[in-house]
Amino acid sequence: MVEDLLEAALEAAERPGVRFADVRYVGPRRYQRFAVKNGSAEALTDSFEAGIGVRVLRERGWGFAATSEASLASVRLTAKRAERLARAAERTTRKSVPFAEETELPKGRHFETPMREDPFAVSTEEKVRLLKESEAALHTHPSVRSGKASFTLWQEEKWYRSIEGASYRTRLTHVGGGIEATAVGEGEVQRRSYPTSFGGDFAQAGFEFLREMDLPGHAVECGRTANALLTAPSCPRGEMDLVLASDQLALQVHESVGHATELDRVMAFEAGYAGTSFVRASEVGQLRYGSSAMTIEADATSPGGLGTFPWDDEGVPGRSYPLVSKGVLAGFLSSRETAARQGLPRSGGTARADGWARTPLIRMTNINLTAGDRSREELLRGVQDGVYMETNRSWSIDDKRLNFQFGCELGRRIVRGELGELVRNPLYSGMTPIFWNTLEATSDRSTWHLWGLPNCGKGQPSQIGHVGHGAPLGLFRKTRIGGAA
């Protein structure tokens, strides 16, 4: 049935003047969200969707159309609409759209996320029981006005075919979960999350990932810390040494390196919405992005990563390559169009779409900061007077990815190499290359964690990307640190 739809779509799309066309049937795409808040079910949702998206490239323009109606007639109409849209695009330009060749196209390949325990086979009763237990334990003090525990489960089956003869089928499974306690005091609101904020940590894995997270075992500490933050002193202000925990450093990588090295942003194709980049296309091998302690790879092969996949949505194999090597810009995230524009021999394989109803965009894979050789304690020992920050609370960066300000849930003073008192509302700010050039060291592999971020927004209509970031702890010298209040 699905094969018939794919065939019908490609046949309808392949009209005179069409250089390339591909089709993705996505379904079922299942999304389950379970959230318990203050003992009540805030969300118990099970979403099922399916649909087909057709993309067409004529000489001077792309067209994309999608439908949730899985009939042959609807699919043919959709393919024709894609082709009509490509004609509409051609009416706005005389320039050709370049498109990179790919020599390792999949032919009849298949991939499934390896897992020990299918998350959709675990009973709803057990999921709810785990969440209720975790959430109840957050309420350690009357100040904890809100407790929340959540699981998010996502599974997508995809059939891909192109007129080049590429074909594959995948079933990817992503899971995530976390807890958060919100404490309210006199004019103060503090939140503490585990294992990190905004829904917790995510991975390409089965339910075993959520069991190993042990949310119930961390809830009491979470609630206590939220309450303690209400009366903690404000974070000191000034230019000080900063140690970022792995989860915050992962987000720093995401915002100031991952997005900045997306070639569509570099080429100003995202100027009207997501923004561009301070990085220029000509600066590979030249731009001093950071210190020599900074090496970052785009790795679509990291086991368990949210940015791990065998082939992207243009049929290009996912792979690993450097973006920043010992502080120097080494490459970009690219698609087949942008790679050709850049003169690269092939795409970086990072074009991914959010489901059947969206066109592929350049998305991060797993953008990983390489670990160093110091233990956590050795890293802290290098700080006489500074601040340690953990778990993002707010993030903001300009549209060229230069000026940033990040707030964290938790701060601690570092005095003579030891972690000291809790401080509230910590934040730090800076300019991307200046900040990364103050990176003195990263901690060792034992502190490195591959975080899953399921909420990367980009594109119009909006798309939510699932990406990964591996990071250890990082020591940054003389950073601008402040407190919100």
Residue with tokens 């499974």, as numbered in its chain: 173
Residue with tokens 């021999």: 345
Distance CA 119, CA 57 (A): 38
Which residues are paired to 428 by β-bridges? Answer: 406, 481
Q: Quick check: 288 binds another protein (CB under 8 A)?
A: no
Which strand (E) or helix (H) includes residue 212?
helix 208-213
Considering only the stretches 238-246, 286-294, 363-371, 421-429, report the one whose residues sit in contact with another protein under the rule CB under 8 A: 421-429
Cβ–Cβ < 8 Å for 6, 14 = no
Crossing angle (nearest 10°) for helices 215-231 and 124-138: 30
Region 68-87 residues binding another protein, contact defined as CB under 8 A: 68-69, 74, 77-78, 80-82, 84-87
- We find the least distance from the C-beta atom of residue 334 to another protein, in angstroms, to be 16
448 binds another protein (CB under 8 A): no
Among 17, 39, 165, 217, binds another protein (CB under 8 A): 39
Number of H helices, E strands in the chain: 10, 23
What is the distance between the alpha carbons of residues 179 and 224, in angstroms, rounded to a whole number?
Answer: 13
Q: Are 21 and 14 in contact (CB under 8 A)?
A: yes
CB of 300 to another protein, least distance (A): 23
Hey, which bits of 105-187 come out as E strands?
A: 107-112, 144-162, 167-185
Q: Which of 88, 171, 420, 421 binds another protein (CB under 8 A)?
A: 88
Close Cβ partners of 13 (under 8 Å, ≥ 6 residues apart): 21, 23, 54, 56, 79, 80, 82, 83, 163
Binding residue for another protein (CB under 8 A) from 11, 133, 188, 208?
188
Q: Select 6 or 427, whichever has its Cβ closest to another protein.
A: 427
64 near another protein, rule: CB under 8 A: yes
Binding to another protein (CB under 8 A) within 339-368 occurs at: 355, 357-359
Q: Give the nearest distance from C-beta 252 to another protein in angstroms.
A: 14
Q: Which of 154, 168, 278, 448 binds another protein (CB under 8 A)?
A: 278
Residues that contact another protein, how many (by CB under 8 A): 92
Residue 372 dihedral angles phi and psi, to the nearest 5°: -100, -145
Among 16, 103, 121, 485, binds another protein (CB under 8 A): 485
Segment interacting with another protein (CB under 8 A) among 48-56, 160-168, 211-219, 343-351: 48-56
Q: How many angstroms separate the CA atoms of 470 and 149, rounded?
A: 24
Work out the end-to-end distance of the chain between its first and last CA atoms, rounded to an integer number of angstroms.
Answer: 60
- Rule CB under 8 A: say whether 283 interacts with another protein: no
Q: 333: which 2 tokens?
A: 């995230």
Q: Which listed residue (3, 4, 45, 418) binds another protein by CB under 8 A?
A: 45
Considering only residues 452-471, where is the footprint of another protein by CB under 8 A?
459-462, 464
Stretch that binds another protein, among 34-42, 103-111, 246-254, 381-389 (CB under 8 A): 34-42
What part of residues 190-229 is at the interface with another protein (CB under 8 A)? none
Separation CA 264–CA 271 (nearest Å):
9
Find the shortest distance in angstroms from Cβ 10 to another protein. 18
Please give the Cα distance from 289 to 439 (Å, whole number).
11
Phi, psi of 307, rounded to the nearest 5 degrees: -100, 30
402 near another protein, rule: CB under 8 A: yes
When asked if residue 184 is in the footprint of another protein (CB under 8 A), the reply is yes
Residue 290: Cβ within 10 Å count: 26
| Site membership for another protein, residue 107 (CB under 8 A) | no
Q: Segment near another protein (CB under 8 A), from 43-51, 246-254, 303-311, 316-324?
A: 43-51
Structural contact between residues 207 and 242, judged by C-beta atoms closer than 8 angstroms: no
CB of 469 to another protein, least distance (A): 18
* Closer Cβ to another protein, 126 or 421, answer by number: 126
